[in-house]
A = this chain, B = another copy of it.
Amino acid sequence: MRIDILEQYQAQTRCLVALDSIIFGFDGEELKLLLVKRGIEDETHTWSLMGGWVQPEESLESASSRILYELTSLTDIYLEQLHTFGSPHRDPVERTVSVAYFALINVEDYDHKISKNFEAHWFSMQELPKLLFDHGSMVEMAIENLRYKASQHPIGFELLPEKFTIPQLQKLYEAIFGTELDKRNFSRKLLSTNLLIKLAEKQKGYSKKGAYFYRIDEEKYKKHFNNFLNFLPGSTS
């Protein structure tokens, strides 16, 4: 190793590197966001995204899984890097560069397993409290990204239980896009992808007739990760 290079490295300022997770969930009716209470300043407790520090021997991806696991005890969750936020004074305590990830989980999976170490709560996207630091911008960026992804890929499934009905899926898409969709066109488009497998079982209790359950064809889903649908109203204008 050349000395001048080492000197260059030595001369640099080191920074705190953190990670924040925008955790979306769906309860069958509304799109929700999971927030935790963090006390940074005296007395004032602010709702914030779940986050943590990136550890010395940890990649960003593993940090994101670990942090999600600490809060939810869930593994194998859809997690995707969103954006890195690095304004010098975004954290008033000390400069912290934060890598934001967004996660999609099924609220039901989560509910019982909630960790006792955190005061956490699901918020409706319509009624978000004021958030810590720049977490509000992170959430805004995440919802945009979720809308885009959901219009391109069958990513929405990640927010539902393994077995789900078409009307559930439609409600989810309506919640993501904040719009109503035509059920005939919706189911036609979905089924035309051939990514859904119809099960014999029907949903009980919610409606009198009962809707058939479907599950996703994992094989095809992974292959087909491009060229999906376009649900966005007005996307062709």
Q: Cβ of A83 and Cβ of B86 under 8 Å apart?
A: no
The SS class assigned to the A binding surface is loop
Instruction: Return chain B residues, CB-CB under 8 Å to A59.
Output: 86-88
CA–CA, A59 to B96, complex, Å? 11
Q: Cβ of B56 and Cβ of A2 under 8 Å apart?
A: no
| Interface flag for A95 (CB, 8 Å) | yes
Knowing A5-B40, A39-B5, A83-B81 are in contact, say whether A56-B17 is a contact too (CB < 8 A). no
When C-beta atoms are compared, the residue in chain B nearest to A152 turns out to be B148
CA–CA, A88 to B2, complex, Å? 21
Stoichiometry, as copies per complex, reads 2
Instruction: Return chain B residues, CB-CB under 8 Å to A5.
Output: 39-40, 93
Q: Which of B9, B53, B93, B97 contacts A17 (CB 8 A)?
A: B97
Knowing A5-B40, A84-B81, A227-B235 are in contact, say whether A15-B12 is a contact too (CB < 8 A). no
| Interface flag for A111 (CB, 8 Å) | no
CA–CA, A1 to B93, complex, Å? 9
CB distance from A13 to the nearest CB of B (A): 5
Q: Cβ of A2 and Cβ of B86 under 8 Å apart?
A: no
| Interface flag for A127 (CB, 8 Å) | no
CA–CA, A235 to B85, complex, Å? 32
Instruction: Return chain B residues, CB-CB under 8 Å to A99.
Output: 84, 86, 97
Knowing A5-B39, A5-B40, A93-B1 are in contact, say whether A88-B56 is a contact too (CB < 8 A). yes
* Chain A residues packing against B (C-beta within 8 Å): 1-2, 5-6, 9, 12-17, 39-42, 53-60, 81, 83-88, 93-95, 97, 99, 227, 234-237
A-B contact pairs, 25 of them (CB 8 A): A1-B40, A1-B42, A2-B41, A2-B42, A5-B39, A5-B40, A5-B93, A6-B93, A9-B93, A13-B53, A14-B15, A14-B17, A15-B16, A15-B54, A17-B86, A56-B95, A57-B88, A58-B88, A59-B86, A59-B87, A59-B88, A81-B84, A84-B99, A97-B99, A227-B235
